[in-house]
Amino acid sequence: MDPFVYNGLPARVIFGPGSLEHLAREIELLGATRAIVLCTPQQRGDAEALATRLGNRAAGVFAEAVMHVPVETARQARDFAAQAGADCAIAIGGGSTTGLGKAIALETGLPILAIPTTYAGSEMTPIYGLTEGGLKKTGRDLRVLPKTVIYDPLLTTSLPPALSLTSGINAIAHAAEGLYAQDANPVVSLMAEEGIRALGEGLPRVMNEPGNLEARSDCLYGAWLCGAVLGSVGMALHHKLCHTLGGSFNLPHAETHTIVLPHVLAYNRDAAPLAMRRMARALRADDAAQAVFDLAREHGAPTALKQLGVTAENLQVALELALKNPYWNPRPVERAPLRALLEAAFEGRRPA
């Protein structure tokens, strides 16, 4: 076995249908007494119900979370937390809401208790993003890592099937790149393979029956593991491309990951054969790139960048941006094959 470094990230995880009932105990264990609740405008109802359940431990609901964490929203949320005298922030929602919690924690050190309701995995990472003047900056800081995460699959049954699928493939992308990461290690690879397996089995069942709690539990468990992979090891070309495309053309996060992933896997296929075998094994398929493409297509997810409104001119811009300071990748990132990759993703061709 090759020598390796494993960096375990601290977080307490409470998992299971109905686990939200332990919220008050978990806040107490954090040593907190006044929690603000963060959410998107769409999830205000859930956040308010949660605040009611907390009674005098709730310090207010801030329902302004939006995608990519604009600095102005982060500032408003920090002011809201300070005025409310909060000593803890609860983030109930997807990556956008967790991201807002992280922006508060980055400046104030307020502990975050995350209650994820999508499969994005942000709750398991010390990575934060902030957008200012249209530019998204990301960074790593342990202060933003949630201290406690409550995974309650009951809260995910309302996640629309289309978003469940793309969010699940977004999670698979973290694990896929974790398997061939430059700093991959055997422990994180175990989590990656198991995360892909759980999502590969759970997602088709969720698509057939969105209220199936067993399937929802499998997916949320898989998302947790995939998020932990994202938090532990470095990502490569796929995450770079999605960041570039999403940030430059304001594309929806999970859909962009869903469309791009099969093509990056095909690009890296020969450079990372062991990772590809493990992924294919987890998905019970012969080829990882085709299996991810088929998972998306068979259940009606978008498979072409042009479906998201990307234009041929945008592709050229994305190509130039991705070639500037590329991430480490198992196969060198070169103009001609990268151009071919982007064209295949643009057209939505099944990887050969």
Report the interface residues with ligand NAD, using CB under 6 A.
Answer: 40, 42-43, 67-68, 93-97, 99, 117-118, 120-122, 125, 127-129, 155-156, 158-159, 163, 167, 230, 253-254
Q: Quickly count helices (H) and strands (E) in the chain.
A: 13, 8
Structure tokens at 290: 């085709």
Q: Which is nearer to ligand NAD, 118 or 303 (CB)?
A: 118
Q: Which is nearer to ligand NAD, 191 or 344 (CB)?
A: 191
> How does 82-101 read in b/e, with b if 16+ C-beta sit within 10 Å?
eebebbbbbbbbbbbbbbbb
| Minimum distance of ligand NAD from residue 337's CB (angstroms) | 26
Q: Which is nearer to ligand NAD, 58 or 65 (CB)?
A: 65
Strand partners, 135: 132
Residue nearest to ligand NAD (CB): 95
Q: Which is nearer to ligand NAD, 41 or 309 (CB)?
A: 41
Q: Which is nearer to ligand NAD, 95 or 351 (CB)?
A: 95
| Minimum distance of ligand NAD from residue 98's CB (angstroms) | 7
| Minimum distance of ligand NAD from residue 69's CB (angstroms) | 7
156 alpha-carbon distance from chain centroid: 15
Reduced to 3 states, what is the DSSP secondary structure of residue 128?
strand
Query: Nearest-CA neighbor of 38 among 30, 48, 52, 28?
Result: 48
| Minimum distance of ligand NAD from residue 166's CB (angstroms) | 8
| Minimum distance of ligand NAD from residue 334's CB (angstroms) | 27
Reduced to 3 states, what is the DSSP secondary structure of residue 14?
strand
Q: Which is nearer to ligand NAD, 110 or 276 (CB)?
A: 110
Measured between alpha carbons, how far is residue 199 from residues 205, 223, 242 in Å?
10, 7, 20
> How does 11-43 read in b/e, with b if 16+ C-beta sit within 10 Å?
beebebbebbeebeebbeebebebbbbbbbeeb
